[in-house]
Structure 1
Amino acid sequence: MKILVLNCGSSSIKYKLYNMDDNSVLAAGGVERIGLDEAFIKITLPNGEKKKIMHDMPDHKEGVNFVFQCLLDPEFGAIKSLSEIDAVGHRIVQGGDLFEKSVIVDKSVEDGIESLCDLAPVHNAGHLKGLRAVDKLMPQVPQVCVFDNAFHSTMPDYAYLYAVPYELYEKYHVRRYGFHGTSHRYVSQRVCEFLGRDIKTQRIITCHIGNGASVSAVKFGKCVDTSMGLTPLAGVMMGSRSGDIDPSAVTFLMEKLGKKPQEMADFLNKESGVLGITGISSDMREVESAAAEGNERAQLALKMYNYRIKKYIGAYAAAMGGVDIIVWTAGVGENQVGTRLEACSGLEFLGVEMDAEANKVRGEEAIISKPESKVTVCVIPTDEELMIAKDTMALLQK
């Protein structure tokens, strides 16, 4: 079975084509600048090289169609006919409280995703465009939606509700949803396979730390809390997102800066976090380099960044009555040696004993705690696309 996984944003499409017989990736790439000048697709060739092709793509239908053309290309394509694609799996950021698991797409699913656009206007609108583009180009092929927050649907109400009048939850569905759920689900399962443990006996803290970042508490295979909230803005400090902030500080700044609600949301999402503190970059590699060269604001940003992750690890250990495994994943979590070491330092009282030498690993599965550590700390590279492909296959085989 061959499954195409699509992640459609407002002006982009990321894709991977899987052969599910052995979970191998047959093709991968991404379309950028849909609806804008100088749109292009960047393809990862089998030898690892990148190929960039400029192509006019006024809308998502043309973007998806060009992905199909590239998959069929006799020089660098992966298939001879679109009939080889058995299904398409989509990443959907916001499923609200309508979707608590992956589903096969029909009209009611599309309507449900559309009804949630208020909660994720940019993301869900882009996802819908991708769904409908595939509908028009390959109407006979089944599609599956895998929701970013579905894994977090097992949180108890006392963890996901905000302390505002209850009728606001009933009327507007205002609550903590969480995101990166497909990644948290994948790494919590994979780390138990890697360690040879039963997930139903483990208390796991999963740290998905990239430009966007979130931490989750996974107790006996189910998520019981997560750091992101109604939107991906809450939680730990991120590349350009503020993370947790006093709501009164938000209204205070709106008044001082003369910003309207959407302008303030953009400010906290795109101009804050590591970028806002350093004034240099949202890329942690650049920030680490600047800190090593003596830049004091870069050094401050790193301390803030690592400290906030550490606080969530401690909080979730308390929430679960202890912790057995801490997992690091995503771009920073998989590659930034210093962040892992600093965020785990001072947690010896929980039973965390890091191995500085083992921690030097980048981008591969590894145990980075000492053998005698009561808490096992691991690096597990995430694979959200494979999780989406597996969900798609499982639903179609029911």
Structure 2
Amino acid sequence: MIYLDNSSTTLIKPDVVSKALYEAIASQKYSNPSRGFYQEAINSSEAVYDVREIIAEFFGVEDPLNVAFTANITTSLNLVLNSIFKKGDHIITSVTEHNSVLRPLYQLEDRGVELSFIDIDENYNLKLEELENYLKDNTRAIVITAESNVSGVRTDLEYIYEFAIAHDLLVIIDGAQVAGTAKIKFNERKYPRLIFCITGHKALFGPTGTGAIIDMSGEKFKNVFTGGSGVNSFHRFNSVEMPDVFEYGTINFHSILALGAGVKFIDGIGIERVSEKIHSLRQRLFYGIREIPGIKLFSNERDSSIVSFNYREYPSSEICKKMYKINKIASRGGIHCAPLFHEKVGTKTRGIVRLSLSYFNNNDEINKTIDTIKLIAETS
């Protein structure tokens, strides 16, 4: 099989990840972190902290305690958004957002939060030059994806951040598609009002059920979920300090240790080399199918890990089925949980075919994919 659905989850992961997960369970060295003073409990607390350090260093964050572990990026975004915003606030977001952003925002809208949506141009770039038009006296934040999970078009985060600083706004980033495919290094002195949300199971090569909130904002959070924490048991609620405010109950520490192994794997190769390989493969694919008669691309020429397209008027699901039947190419058709993007580009009914790449793909796979799409075009 040629696996090109990495934006959904990475199927092919480094061996060190599965070994770390197995070892975490089979070794019987790790008990519940922060729940005891015997060695196995201490082992877990220390190992989880080590992964905080790994992730903090990977993204350029000074204090590992500003990394809170969650179940996935959907959890991260829900927790952050519901912790911060209240009736009367105004948030700027975009039409390229995933439902992990949109649905929590719609819930907030039902509670009296106002929303505005940045549009895209004909090349699927956000119209950031229009940001000023969305500003209101009650604007508190920009909540934005770092990379569209449909088109692969990346957001100019430097532009967003400079605008936010100029207008004293918080920036909350959905980093699901860039964490592990692009070099993202924050300097907390340069980015003092930013929250970066990630998931572990995509390009960071972690298991499912892992994610994180990386806080550089200094925001005063409030509890959204609360429960046992292993400390301060006589307090009515969990601590509102990072990372405890977002880590309620027993965290998924076995999988967190495996996530740490995935991030270390990338760091060992170098994120620049990983990114360069993915982008090289992506360019080969992009230019290889661009000139096929009947192909409509929904990606542009800028670097990312995604190439999205449709063929004539065929439903995206039909093209995906043909690709798998001919050469076992695993792709993704449909709406990709990004309804506003599809409304904008007119693909609500048939969706879009998305091909998303990983460090573990190679030139032969890309060439075979190009040939398969050419064959479909010749015989359909």
Name the TM-score, length of structure 2 as normaliser.
0.24
Which structure features the higher share of strand residues? Answer: 1
Name the TM-score, length of structure 1 as normaliser.
0.23
Task: Give the structure, 1 or 2, with the largest relative contact order (CA under 8 Å, sep 6 or more).
Answer: 2
